[in-house]
C-alpha cells in the first residue's frame, strides 16, 4: 500500500493544488489544463506499462517507460501552451504546477523503482 501511495504522489500534488489555486485566486484554467493533461498521460503510461510487462521483454518495458515520459512532457507542455494562449496568467500557473508535479513524479521514480525491484 505504501508504494502505491508513493507511486501516485504526483496525483496528490495535483489534488492539493486546487485549494491553493482557489485561495490564491489563480486561474482555475491553469489547474484544469495541467490536471487534464497529466491524467491523460498517466492513463497512457499505465496502459503502456501493462502491455510492456505482458510482453515479458525488459527492453520493451524500458522503451515504454521512455516513450511515455517523453509523451507526457509533450502532452503537458502543449496543454500549458494552450492554456497560456487562452489566458496568459493561466499558462503561467499551469506551467508552474506542471513543473512542480513533474519534479515530484520524477523524484518518486528513483525511489519507487528500486523498492519494487527489491520486492521481486
Task: Give tens-digit pLDDT for 9-52.
Answer: 999 999 999 999 999 999 999 999 999 999 999 999 889 988 88
pTM score of the predicted model: 0.88
What are the Cα distances from residue 52, in Å, to 17, 47, 63, 118? 32, 9, 9, 20
Is the pLDDT higher at 14 or at 110? Answer: 14
Alpha-carbon radius of gyration of the chain: 16
Amino acid at each position: 500500500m505504501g508504494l502505491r501511495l508513493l507511486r501516485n504522489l504526483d496525483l496528490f500534488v495535483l489534488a492539493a493544488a486546487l485549494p491553493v489555486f482557489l485561495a490564491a485566486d489563480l486561474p482555475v484554467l491553469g489547474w484544469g489544463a495541467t490536471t487534464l493533461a497529466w491524467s491523460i498521460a498517466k492513463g497512457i503510461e499505465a496502459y503502456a506499462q501493462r502491455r510492456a510487462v505482458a510482453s515479458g521483454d525488459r527492453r520493451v518495458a524500458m522503451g515504454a517507460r521512455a516513450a511515455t515520459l517523453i509523451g507526457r512532457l509533450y502532452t503537458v507542455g502543449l496543454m500549458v501552451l494552450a492554456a497560456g494562449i487562452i489566458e496568459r496568467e493561466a499558462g503561467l500557473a499551469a506551467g508552474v504546477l506542471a513543473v512542480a508535479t513533474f519534479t515530484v513524479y520524477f523524484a518518486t521514480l528513483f525511489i519507487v523503482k528500486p523498492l519494487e525491484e527489491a520486492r521481486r
